[in-house]
Amino acid sequence: MDSVWGSGFGALDRRAAQLVAASVAGNVAELSAFSEWLGELSADDLVRFDQRARRRWTSPDQRVQMERCWTTDVLAAHPTAAIAASVLAHGHVRERAVIVLAAQEDVSAARTLAVRACDHVDPIRRAASAAVMCRLDLDLMQVIVPVLFTLHRWNRGWRTQVFADYLAAVEEVHGIDTVWTHLMANSDVRLRRYAHEHALELGVLGVEQGVARYASERDVLVQRTLGKVVLRSADPEVVARLLLQGNSAADRAAALARFDADVLAREDLRRLLVDRSALVRLWARRRWSEVGEDPVTTYRQIVADVAQPARARALAHLGLSEGGHTPDVAKCRSLARDRAASLRAMGLRLMIGRAESVDVSWLLDRVSSGPRGESRWARAVLAAQPGLWTVTDAEPMWSAYTPETRCRAWKLCRARGGWEAVIADLRACGDTDPLLHGAGRAIRAAMAHHRQPTDDRRARVAEFLPQSGLPDSPQRDVAARAGLSFDWAVPRAS
């Protein structure tokens, strides 16, 4: 489900620039190759690229050249190139591409026409919608609906109702059961989730289907929908066995809450005592008590059994803590130095609010150089007791060569809140690392809630504010709230 574009627009813009260059040059081979690449994208990525590419500015000369190169006759002679031409930021070229693609019967043409069914130009949108409404074959439906669903999610009720109209048309031809059974098997994850929810509402998704498919379903949200169906089964033992093995914590908790202990298998209950969900563990302890077992004794057995997986032993420590039997601080320190990562993280977690001054040194070291999960828990321990340490203790991290370590220093100092968070943001804004520099720009989020800083903090604001690289307006805002005069010049690009 992750996008091929990552989190930014750089890759999108580079691809869009390549498309424009090929279209201006009239390069049929390159546009055809681009069309094949578009055919490999997911529905989400295809729509995202289309919307970004059409927003790209093109010069008047480029537009004239596009229109000259890509006439209807040229596109008709090279229908594969028409797919790429349909996403160009030139309405006349897109319109010609739609006319050519409407005469094609293949899957790629159907998918591209579905994108154009929500075009911002009315004649293109109408022509593409009409072409899409004629393609009611089940195989074509499987590529058209993911695109229309993506457009519907992003632009709900905007410009056109082609998504609802198309579904109504295919339901009329093939029947509701057939259509939604096919869509529940679609390769698009988001569409599958929607299809299962809608099929449940329509009554298409029955108990037998839910029971048969629940155990093999890998997507948690789809499995949760199947769990709603499974709960309608008349056989409690079947339901309990399936749901307690599910990927969804909500399903596991629902089974424990719904069924009495005599329906539930003892091995399942013991396993769920160390479930990753706190709610599941809570219900498992209750049901474990109902079968005559003591959860505390069982947890201690798991903790003492070195043959148990480290993750199970760590969660057993957490279960003891949830039951009011938190290990002492010495035991937590021992866990925090264990060889197993899960036990180290749990030791840190159980130390929150219980650390002492002797722990500050190694906790800071864990924040600085530990794995990310342990660093996060060590930071939580220090943030819960800011009186044990000062921001001066974090200076070695701010001076580190690696951006990751400086980012950890920022998060640690920011966790102190108040003006310390503002000062940490200012230091991050002035950092050379782009990600850290950008992350620090949350500086204005809670400025209105801060009182006047102490003299020491005011001096540090005065030190870091001119180096932050922020525009004049936020610099003035911070300076005014800190009681400083804004009397330095903000460097500007020449």
pTM strictly above 0.85: no
- Half-sphere exposure (Cβ direction) of 435: Cα atoms closer than 13 Å: 9
Among 51, 85, 82, residue whose Cα is nearest residue 66: 85
Looking up tokens 């949760």 gives: 224
Taken in order 12, 18, 24, 29, the sign of the CA dihedral is negative
Contact 91, 124 (CB under 8 A): yes
* Contacts of residue 2, Cβ cutoff 8 Å, sequence gap at least 6: none
- Rounded Cα distance between 273 and 290, Å, is 13
Contact 28, 174 (CB under 8 A): no
**Per-residue pLDDT at 328:** 92
Contact 339, 313 (CB under 8 A): no
**Per-residue pLDDT at 429:** 87
Can you give the pLDDT of all 494 residues of the chain as single tens digits? 555 544 455 677 788 888 888 888 888 899 899 899 998 889 998 998 888 888 777 788 888 888 888 899 999 999 999 999 999 888 899 999 999 999 998 999 999 999 999 888 999 999 999 999 999 999 999 999 999 999 988 876 555 689 999 999 999 999 999 999 999 999 999 999 999 999 999 999 988 888 888 988 889 999 999 998 888 876 888 888 888 888 889 999 999 998 988 889 999 999 999 999 999 999 999 999 999 999 999 999 999 999 999 999 999 999 999 999 999 999 999 999 999 999 999 999 999 999 999 999 999 999 999 999 999 999 999 999 999 999 999 999 999 999 999 999 999 998 988 888 888 888 888 888 888 888 776 665 545 566 788 888 888 888 888 888 877 777 888 888 888 876 654 444 43
Q: Which two tokens stand for residue 309?
A: 């997986």
Looking up tokens 């988001």 gives: 190
Contact 348, 377 (CB under 8 A): yes
**Per-residue pLDDT at 476:** 82
**Per-residue pLDDT at 178:** 95
**Per-residue pLDDT at 66:** 87
- Domain assignments of the chain as residue spans, ordered by start: 206-291
DSSP 2-69: --TTTTSSHHHHHHHHHHHHHHHHT-HHHHHHHHHHHHTS-HHHHHHHHHHHHTS---HHHHHHHHHH
The helix (H) or strand (E) run that includes residue 181 is helix 176-183
